[in-house]
């Protein structure tokens, strides 16, 4: 486009200069011709012996022949044409187009001289000059077109050579887009393309690692789901099967106690021991069932189940202050979200009780417009999350995996030795539901 614009601008300037040059040339030729013929007319008038002026002019014009840029016509007193100058034969084979002729043709000038017994008419004519100008203009046009084609071929060739790595880059992007994250680009000689290739390779490595991490997360989530299903099944079996047997044992032992209390006190005492053991087994079994699967989750929902869990911890550890603070409007969540939140709070409170050496534990749950906010904090000794050996302690790792499975954010806030304990902040988006 720049080359075409340059050619167009050059053509406009050339046509304008050509028009001015032809005009000046024709005007000059016309003035010289008129002065020459005026001289002949004056000489004829001063020398009557030469004959009538129109005959003198006729003889002079016949001997003069073609006059460039001028058309000369001579008429006698009866307006009979005595002489007309021949047409220009200069580059007669050239036929300029009409648009060029209209662009460069100057204004036609006509000079008339009345002589004795006749009339002389001199008309400016730019035919030869126009053909000459068109010949030069045509040569410049062909040179411009040749330069334009050569320049574009050169630029196209250079760009094709310089942009050859783009094909490799586009092919690599297409392969990555189709899921082939093993694609790697070679080194390029152009520094910019080499940096692009290195960045694309690094992106492919990151995407591959992210995909593997996501697959591991999905596998972890699937394993956790199967574990929860097994826990639910095991809790149901304990409640339905073992619970019935323990209840039957207790019933039989109570009947034995009632029948042998007066006749056989020893047997009654043994039966009473069986009743106490059955009660202990029953309570222990229900504690195990509660750990495996909170029964209140299906009946009362997540919040009430959390209240029941906190109350159970408070009963088991009366020396601690364990509180649950709930705010906001909680909409029903899916089973997967409910059980994961329950396990997160359960693990966090367990960690605080076992390792924080705290006097109080606070669990805050808030339902906001952008999701759920959880904060579990204590006033214990604190911890350094980076120094925790997660190959031996899976609590924080399990919490992090559950939060990431719900596309949430997890952060540990703690500065050991400052007396402010530790806090876990968890944010779960609404789409987790």
Domain with 368 in it: what CATH number? 3.30.565.10
* For residues 401-405, average pLDDT: 82
Of 129, 158, 187, the domain-final residue: 158
Among candidates 57, 56, 54, 14, which has minimal Cα distance to 33? Answer: 57
Domain assignment present for residue 279? The answer is no
Domain assignment present for residue 196? The answer is no
Domain assignment present for residue 179? The answer is no
Render pLDDT for 288-327 as a digit per residue (tens, 0 to 9): 877 777 766 767 788 888 888 888 889 888 898 999 999 8
- 217 has a pLDDT exceeding 90: no
Of 113, 137, 158, the domain-final residue: 158
* For residues 87-98, average pLDDT: 81
- Total number of domains constituting the chain: 2
Domain assignment present for residue 273? The answer is no
Domain assignment present for residue 168? The answer is no
What angle, 0 to 180 degrees and rounded to 10, lies between the N-to-C axes of helices 191-237 and 265-292?
A: 160
Of 158, 178, 202, the domain-final residue: 158
Domain assignment present for residue 408? The answer is yes
Do 416 and 382 contact (CB within 8 A), yes or no?
Answer: yes
Residue numbers of the domain that contains 43: 2-158
CA distance 356 to 359: 9
Edge to edge, the sheet with strand 70-76 lists: 81-84, 70-76, 118-124, 110-115
Domain assignment present for residue 253? The answer is no
Cα distances (angstroms) measured from residue 362 to each of 313, 325, 358? 12, 8, 11
DSSP state for residue 238 in the 8-state scheme: I
> pTM of the full predicted structure?
0.49
Domain assignment present for residue 251? The answer is no
- 181 has a pLDDT exceeding 70: yes
Radius of gyration of the chain (CA): 55
């Amino acid at each position: 486009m720049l080359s075409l614009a340059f050619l167009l601008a050059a053509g406009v300037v050339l046509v304008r200069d050509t028009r001015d040059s032809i005009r000046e040339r024709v005007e000059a030729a016309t003035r010289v011709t008129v002065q020459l013929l005026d001289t002949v007319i004056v000489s004829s008038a001063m020398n009557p012996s030469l004959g009538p002026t129109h005959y003198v002019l006729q003889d002079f014009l016949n001997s003069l022949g073609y006059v460039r840029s001028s058309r000369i016509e001579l008429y006698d007193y009866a307006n009979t044409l005595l002489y007309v100058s021949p047409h220009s034969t200069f580059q007669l084979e050239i036929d300029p187009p009409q648009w060029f002729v209209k662009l460069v043709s100057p204004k036609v000038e006509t000079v008339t001289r009345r002589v004795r017994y006749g009339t002389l008419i001199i008309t400016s004519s730019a035919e030869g000059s126009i053909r000459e100008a068109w010949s030069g203009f045509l040569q410049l046009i062909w040179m411009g077109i040749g330069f334009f084609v050569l320049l574009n071929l050169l630029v196209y060739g250079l760009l094709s050579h310089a942009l050859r790595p783009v094909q490799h880059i586009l092919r690599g992007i297409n392969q990555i887009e189709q899921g082939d994250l093993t694609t790697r680009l070679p080194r390029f000689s152009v520094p910019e393309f080499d940096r692009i290739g290195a960045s694309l390779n690094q992106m492919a490595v990151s995407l591959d690692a992210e995909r593997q991490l996501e697959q591991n997360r999905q596998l972890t989530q699937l394993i956790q789901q199967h574990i929860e299903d097994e826990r639910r099944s095991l809790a149901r079996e304990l409640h339905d099967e073992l619970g019935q047997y323990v209840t039957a044992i207790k019933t039989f032992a109570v009947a034995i106690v009632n029948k042998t209390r007066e006749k056989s006190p020893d047997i009654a005492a043994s039966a009473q021991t069986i009743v106490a053991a059955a009660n202990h087994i029953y309570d222990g079994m229900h504690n195990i069932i509660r750990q495996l699967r909170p029964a209140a989750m299906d009946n009362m929902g997540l919040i009430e189940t959390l209240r029941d869990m906190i109350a159970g911890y408070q009963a088991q550890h009366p020396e601690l202050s364990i509180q649950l603070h709930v705010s906001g409007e909680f909409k029903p969540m899916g089973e997967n979200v409910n059980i994961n939140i329950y396990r997160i709070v359960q693990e966090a409170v367990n960690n605080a009780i076992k390792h924080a050496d705290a006097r109080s534990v606070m669990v805050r749950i808030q339902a906001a417009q952008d999701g759920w906010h959880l904060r579990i904090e204590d006033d214990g000794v604190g911890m350094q999350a980076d120094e925790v050996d997660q190959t031996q302690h899976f609590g924080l790792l399990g919490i992090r995996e559950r939060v990431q499975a719900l596309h949430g954010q997890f952060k540990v806030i703690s500065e050991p030795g400052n007396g402010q304990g530790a806090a876990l902040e968890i944010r779960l988006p609404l789409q987790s539901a």
